[in-house]
Amino acid sequence: MTIARRRFIQLAASAAAAGLAAPALALDYPNRPVRLVIGFPPGGSADIVTRLVAQALTERMGQTFIVDNRSGAGSNLAAETVARSEPDGYTLLSVTVANAINATLYSNLKFDYLKDFEQVASIDVVPNVMDINIDMPVKTIPEFIAYAKANPGKISMASGGVGSSPHVTGELFKMMTGVDMVHVPYRGVAPATTDLLGGRVQVLFDTLPAAIANIRAGKIRALAVTTKVRNEALPDVPAMAEFIPGFEADSFHGIAAPKGTPQDIVDKLNKEINAAVQEPKLKARLADFGGTVFTGTPKDYANYMAGEIEKWGKVVRFSGAKATD
């Protein structure tokens, strides 16, 4: 056998082996524990949702999905950790709206979200809710807008911090209605809620899971949820889009992986996550937190994230907000 022919046979064998190896990755995946990194401390809604999905994937895929809380820099520490990880499917990122906001809010990120991550799967969307102090003399969105325009700069809008979801949702409201409100950032939503209850601030665009108990107890007044349609948890509260066409400000949860993660692994994870969140028990648990299941292909989720980054980029630039970290 000539050297040339022997080399040809070796190359052909290598090509065949490579062709068989790609699908084999997904067949063997996962064969050890998978780490799900989240950029927030334990106990919050993002942490709870991540743990619910991790448990479901553990049961479905036969390997432990471990939640790793890496809070810091507005969730950017977790994202950077995952972006720099081996793209083998064993280190994943728990994604929230903060990742979309931070793409513009921070000018010195060490990663590019759209370029450095593979979008794996969406999980759910969760509305914010526009809450006002019960002593305010308004009961509807049109009444609030009229009152705010008659009292420019006299309404204090609380948030959990510069660039937080409550902050940018309020800025979107300002941008689309032309009202003038004074932003009052707090170190977290809990102290902001305390001051809303006490009347020291007048409005807070809070996440539904955090606000729902006070709304149901009549301690604050909910004017609208910020998704396109009403939420089952508060069926009598209108959607903001009923008064402001096109208004939508979702919090959301999803999963991403480092860029270069094999497509068959991404597809397998997508299939299992889609199936898990559609199971009645998990679907009901997500609904308890105001979440509506939101599934699709990796490409669907990539398009969604690109749209969210573009949308919140416009709002951040409108507000002039800059990260303090």
Read off the tokens for 209: 């899971």
Residue 224 CA to residue 221 CA, distance in Å, equals 9
Residue 100 CA to residue 163 CA, distance in Å, equals 11
pTM surpassing 0.85? yes
Q: CB under 8 Å to 45, separation ≥6 — which residues?
A: 126, 207, 209, 210, 251, 289
For residues 133-143, give the mean pLDDT.
Answer: 97
Average model confidence (pLDDT) for the chain?
91
Phi-psi region of 93 (alpha: psi -120 to 50; beta: other; left: phi over 0): beta
Helical H runs in the chain?
Answer: 3-28, 45-61, 76-83, 97-105, 113-116, 141-150, 165-177, 189-198, 208-216, 263-278, 280-288, 298-319
Residue 325's pLDDT band (boundaries 50, 70, 90)? low
Angle formed at CA 313 by CA 312 and CA 316, multiple of 5 degrees: 80
Domains and CATH numbers, the chain: 29-126+250-319 (3.40.190.150), 127-242 (3.40.190.10)
- How many of the other CB atoms lie within 10 Å of CB of 200? 13
Residue keyed to tokens 């003399």: 137
Q: How high is the pLDDT of residue 25? A: 61
Residue keyed to tokens 């089952």: 232
Q: Check pLDDT > 50 for residue 113.
A: yes
Q: Check pLDDT > 50 for residue 287.
A: yes
CB 295 within 8 A of CB 277: yes
For the chain, the first-to-last Cα distance in angstroms comes to: 67
In this predicted model, what pLDDT tens digit does every residue of 4-47 receive, in sequence order?
Answer: 443 444 444 444 444 444 455 668 999 999 999 999 988 888 89
SS3 assignment, position 72 = coil
CB 123 within 8 A of CB 274: no
- How many of the other CB atoms lie within 10 Å of CB of 294? 20
Helical H runs in 203-279?
Answer: 208-216, 263-278
